[in-house]
Amino acid sequence: MIRGKRAFDVAGAAGGLVFFAPVMLCATLAILLDDGRPVFFRQTRLGRGRRPFSILKFRTMRDGRVTRVGAVLRATGLDELPQFVNILRGELSAVGPRPITAEDAERFGWTGPSALPRWSVARGLTGLAQLAGRSRPESLALDRCYVRHPGLLLDSRIVA
C-alpha cells in the first residue's frame, strides 16, 4: 500500500510539474514583474507524526497585504503548485490531511488524543476536508474518515 501511494505521489507530482511548468513560469514572471523577489514563500508546517517541514508556495503577500498577482494566485489555487516539489521530496502526499502550523494545531485544539489519527498519515496537497469546505470540526472528522479508509481508489477519486 505505501509503495503504491508513493508511486502515485511521485508520478502525479512529476506529471504536475511538467504539465503546469508554463503556468508556473508565468506566475514566477508575474511575481517578479509586479513585486520583485522573493518568488517563493516557505513556512514551517507539521507533517506526519507532527514532524515539522518547510512547505513551499508562491509568495502572495508583501508587508502583510495580498499583492495583485497574489490575489489571482490565491483565488485560483495556483499558489499551491510549488508543493509538487514537497511531494517529490516525500514531505507531502498528493492526498491526505492538509498540513498546518504548530500554532494552528494548538489554536484548533488538534493536539490531544482525539486528533491523533490525523497525525498518523502523511499530510496532503489536498484531501477530503478541502473538497467539503473548511469548518474545523468537519475538517477533523473528514481527516479521521480518510485515515480509517485509506487507499489509492479513494485518493484517485479525491484527485479527480
What are the tens digits of pLDDT across the range 79-110?
Answer: 999 999 999 999 999 999 999 999 999 998 88
Find the range with the poorest average confidence among 50-54, 122-126, 138-142: 138-142
Distance CA 95, CA 153 (A): 11
What are the tens digits of pLDDT across the range 10-49?
Answer: 999 999 999 999 999 999 999 999 999 999 999 999 999 9
For the entire predicted model, the pTM comes to: 0.90
Distance CA 39, CA 138 (A): 33
At 72, list the grid cell: 489571482
Which pLDDT does position 136 carry in this prediction?
66
Q: Which helix (H) or strand (E) holds 124?
A: strand 124-126
At 129, list the grid cell: 476536508
- Residue 100 DSSP class: B
Distance CA 84, CA 100 (A): 17
Closest by CA to 9, choosing from 84, 113, 78, 104, is: 84
